[in-house]
Amino acid sequence: MQDETRTEDSSPENDFSLVNGGLLYDLLIRIPLIRIYRYGQLFRILLFIFVTWIPLLVFSLSEGFAFGRTVNFPFLHDVIVNARLLICVPLFLLSEIYIDNRLKMVFKHLSNSGIIPESQKSPWRTALEKLTQQRDSILPELIAFILAYLITWGAVYVYGIIQISRGMDSWILLNDKITLAGYWYLIISLPVYQFLILRWIWRMHLWIQLLWRLSKLTLRLEPMHPDLAGGLAVIWLAQRVFNLVYLAIGVSLSAQLAHQMIFEGISLLDTRSTVIGFLVVCMALLIFPLLFFFKKIMMTKNEGLIKYGALGSQLADQFDDKWIDNKRKEDEAILGSTDPSAVADYSGSFEMIKQMRPLPIDLRELATVALILLIPFIPLPLLKLSISEVLKKLMEILL
């Protein structure tokens, strides 16, 4: 974890952080172990596991509900809860490191590359300062806490009715009464999980808001930039790292589907629409902020085509005059001239402008992101099929 102390004289571009702020952050950095440069994030993860998961294990062990046949649904058999607290929560916290580092790198590039001209630096800094104030505000996270409890206890009410109607005893509910582990889960563990999701939703809202403000600036885009997006492909480098948050949510969804396959008897095909829907929503959320730059990129492309088109006409006329209409020196040979090479170089440049993408994104990278989002769902086929059957079906698809 990076040093999280704030400096008063740092410029907004170099000191900007989407994650180092807010009520929870201010509470956590008061803990000495959390402030350690090298191991702070590890201690933070261990702290959340100790608060959310360890008490559930201790209580369920003491009551005899951790495993075995004391209840129909013991704690260690609860795929959803264990996946959320042991995988999703650490992923939410680890995402902060990678997202923060990537955003710092991107903002430094935007500041130093000339994409944001000097005349636009002041409104850009204003936008960063405003976002920092929103990030540090206590109110959004207080609202997130309240919503987390409202969502949790709404789910508790439904969950309790389902369990009672089926007559199923579990580590949460036994003989229509909530267990000690159940109380801890409903009062502490589940609200913490819900709060982290809501907190990330707020942060991503701030990020999208910042990209919208960036798109409203007068940017200096180059039609000949090799990224084929006028120099804005760097935005995708920042945007795609949010895939880690969606990956954590995918783990929770996969655990829920696994639970339904094991205990409710749904088939693998029944999960297909849910997985596809999740993938479509996540990809749409990743692509949506990039639409803000569509107009600027297309204007840059069109202006480049017009300017380079005019230059091409001049170059073609000069080439024809010299080599077709024989207006060259008598002893000048075409094989020793740089003129054909200049025409070829120009043609390559013009073709590059024609290939500019309407959004700062590469389709191959987009496909890679989609494949990463599918990783949490890989275990689902193994619940219904043996490894040999899975391999056989893969071979049938490939061959």
Same domain, 92 and 51: yes
Lowest mean pLDDT among 64-73, 118-127, 162-171, 357-366: 162-171
One domain, residues 145 and 256: no
Of the listed ranges 3-12, 195-204, 207-216, 252-261, the least confidently predicted one is 3-12
Statement to judge: residues 216 and 232 lie in one domain: no
pLDDT for the residue numbered 34 = 65
Q: CB of 338 within 8 A of CB of 322?
A: no
What is residue 9's DSSP assignment?
Answer: T
Give the N- to C-terminal CA distance of the chain in Å, as an integer.
Answer: 46
Report which of residues 9 and 355 the model is more confident about: 355
**Other Cβ atoms within 10 Å of 291 Cβ, number:** 13
- At which residue do the structure tokens 């300062």 appear? 129
> Are 199 and 311 in the same domain?
no
| 184 and 251 belong to one structural domain | no
314 and 187 within one domain: no
- What total number of domains does the chain contain? 2
Last residue of a domain, one of 220, 238, 263: 220
User: Quick one: 185 and 288 in the same domain?
Assistant: no
**pLDDT at 172 (0 to 100):** 85
**What mean pLDDT is predicted for residues 160-168?**
56
pLDDT mean over 204-226: 91
pLDDT-based confidence at 335, cuts 50/70/90?
very low
Q: Does pLDDT of 209 surpass 50?
A: yes
- Residue-range definition of the domain harbouring residue 258: 223-399
User: Do 215 and 236 belong to one domain?
Assistant: no
Q: Which residue has the higher pLDDT, 164 or 67?
A: 67
Residues 120 and 145 in one domain: yes
Of the pLDDT bands very low, low, confident and very high (cuts 50, 70, 90), residue 393 is low
Pick the range with the lowest mean pLDDT from 107-121, 314-328, 367-381.
314-328
Query: What's the pLDDT tens digit per position in 17-56?
Result: 888 888 888 888 777 766 655 567 788 899 999 999 999 9
As a whole number, the mean pLDDT across the chain is 81
Q: How far apart are CA 184 and CA 55, in angstroms?
A: 7
More confident residue, 165 or 177: 177
Same domain, 35 and 172: yes
Domain endpoint, select from 170, 204, 220: 220
Give the dihedral sign, CA 249/250/253/255: negative
Same domain, 87 and 58: yes
Top mean-pLDDT range of 162-176, 298-312, 379-393: 298-312
Q: What pLDDT digit, counting tens, does each position of 338-364 carry? A: 455 555 556 667 777 788 888 888 888
Q: Does one domain contain both 98 and 147? A: yes
Domain limit, last residue, from 170, 189, 220: 220
* 28 CB neighbour count, 10 Å cutoff: 19
